[in-house]
Amino acid sequence: MNRRRNKILTISIFVTLILFSNVDILNAQNRTWLNYEVGITASQQSWNTQLSNLHILKPTNSIVGGYIEQELNHFLSIESGINDKFYGFNAYYFGSDSLSTGAYAQCVQIPLRLRTRINLLNNKLFLSPHVGLGLLIKSYDGILIFPEGKFDIEVKTAFPKTALLIETGLSLELILKSWKFAFLATASGNYTSKDFINYSIKDMNTSFSTTGSYVTYQIRVGYAISNIWNRKKK
C-alpha cells in the first residue's frame, strides 16, 4: 500500500506540473504551491435488513494526495493533482446461519478545484472555501461473501470504472513566508440517481448500497515552489 501511494504522489507531481507549466504568463507575485495532504475519510453507506444481529462496521480509511495550486490573484487560486480513495464496507451476522459480507473498491481521484482565500489575520491566517469536480478512476473492486455459495446474491450495481463527483470544502490556512499549513474539511458527492454499489442477499432479506459520496478531514502542508524559479530570475 505504501509503495502504491508513493507512485500516486510521484504521478501527481508530474501531472500537475505539466498542467501548470506556463506559469511565466502569470504575475510573479502569484505563487505556485506544491501541496501534500493526509487525512481520514468516511463514506456514505446504507444497509436495509431485518436481521437484528447484523453488526455493521463503518470504518474510516486514510487518504493521501499531492497537488499543485496556482494563485490567479490575491484571493483566487486553481489547483489539481491526484489522491487515492478506498471504499470498504463490512457486516457480520452470527446466528443459525453465519454471514460475513462486504464490498470494497480501490480508486484514484483527480480533482480540479477553484479556491478563494479570506484574510483573517495579518495576511497570515486565512479561511479558504473551495468548489470543484473530482474524476474517480477505479483500480479494482470486489464483493466479499463468506461462506461462499451458501446465499443467493444479486449484484444490481457494480462499482463504475469512472465517475464524476462534485466537491465542496473549507480550510483554515496559516501561511508563513514560503510555507503553508492547513486543516481541511471536504465533502465529495455523487448527485446522480445511480448507486456506486448495490447488492442484495435474497435469502436473508438484506441489501447494501452506497452512492460513493464521502467526507474527508485532512492536514495540508505546502511549499511555494515558485520562489525557486523567481530567485533564479533575479
Rounded alpha-carbon distances, angstroms, from residue 39 to 25, 182, 221 = 34, 12, 12
Alpha carbons 73 and 95: distance in angstroms, whole number: 62
Contact 135, 105 (CB under 8 A): no
Contact 86, 42 (CB under 8 A): no
Alpha helices in the chain (DSSP H): 2-19, 226-233
Assigned C-alpha cell, 74: 490575491
Q: Is the peptide bond before 129 cis (omega within 30 degrees of 0)?
A: no
DSSP secondary structure code for residue 45 in this structure? -
Q: Of 61, 107, 97, 87, which is closest to residue 208 (Cα–Cα)? A: 87
pLDDT tens digits for range 110-146:
999 999 999 999 999 999 999 999 999 999 988 888 8
What are the structural domains of the chain?
Answer: 2-233 (2.40.160.20)
Integer distance in angstroms from the first to the last C-alpha of the chain? 43
pTM of the model: 0.79
pLDDT tens digits for range 69-110:
999 988 899 999 999 998 888 888 877 677 788 888 999 999
